Structure 1
């Protein structure tokens, strides 16, 4: 199962809607199950650096098929550091991304940067939820 560009853009729009409710400015990245970027959006006024965070968190979530925040405890372990190095250093083990499952199969992840970790995860979850039937 792969995500379409239309699905990725719907997830981005839904994450941005949630950010608007929370009165924060975010960047949103949606990647496929292999961690490759499908679509990206940054709200007007969003910090440029949040784009890197949103993508790195999405990569982590897709790589492990779980919310990126669940990986923070192990982030400094040799295995996790080795995975990040082998991946090219783009993976971020921080709260703010959730995997996207379609029909029980990992299809990708939605990652957000720009708010607190909790706010980012709320926005990412709203993006992923937009793709549920």
Structure 2
């Protein structure tokens, strides 16, 4: 597999929805390709409206900078080497919930962004999505 297709993205959304349901938090979950373009999205019933944009920006962040969005956040603190990066690329989100989606050999196929809970809950659901790949 060298790219994410809709069938795989839909399966990944289902894994995320299951993980979110297990913790009782309705989430917005976004799957994007390596360019940060949308492949699939869902907002679970009862999910916050504001989490839609956040999940999409987290996914885009981890696609354009293939690392967890939280790592980019650590590097972009005042005085950091990329301070202000969140203002680039139409707006990024540099806290937890965005993860690159990669094959076992490390080939990045895209990214997932999750929002709707506390940051650690978003990260846990994103990790469940990445594991399902």
Which shows bigger deviation, 37-46 or 65-74? 65-74
Distance in 2 (alpha carbons) for counterparts of 1:78 and 1:32? 26
- 1:26-41 equivalence runs, <5 A: 26-41=27-42
Structure 1 vs Structure 2 CA RMSD = 1.5
Q: Which has the larger share of helix?
A: 1
Number of the residue aligned with 2:25: 24
How far residue 15 of structure 1 moved from its aligned partner, in angstroms, is 0.6
Normalising to structure 1: TM-score of the pair?
0.89
In the alignment, is the contact (CA less than 8 A) between 2:9 and 2:31 conserved in 1? Answer: yes
* Counterpart secondary structure, 1:55: helix
In the alignment, is the contact (CA less than 8 A) between 2:86 and 2:94 conserved in 1? Answer: no
- 1:81-96 equivalence runs, <5 A: 81=84, 83-89=85-91, 91-96=92-97
Out of 109, 123, 131, which is 2:111 matched to?
109
Query: Alignment length, in residue pairs?
Result: 129
Do the aligned partners of residues 69 and 84 (structure 1) sit closer, same or farther apart at CA in structure 2, a change above 3 Å counting? closer
What runs of 5+ residues in structure 1 fail to find an aligned partner? none
Normalising to structure 2: TM-score of the pair?
0.89
Number of the residue aligned with 2:54: 53
What runs of 5+ residues in structure 2 fail to find an aligned partner? none
In the alignment, is the contact (CA less than 8 A) between 1:97 and 1:125 conserved in 2? Answer: no
* Counterpart secondary structure, 1:87: coil
How far residue 3 of structure 1 moved from its aligned partner, in angstroms, is 0.4
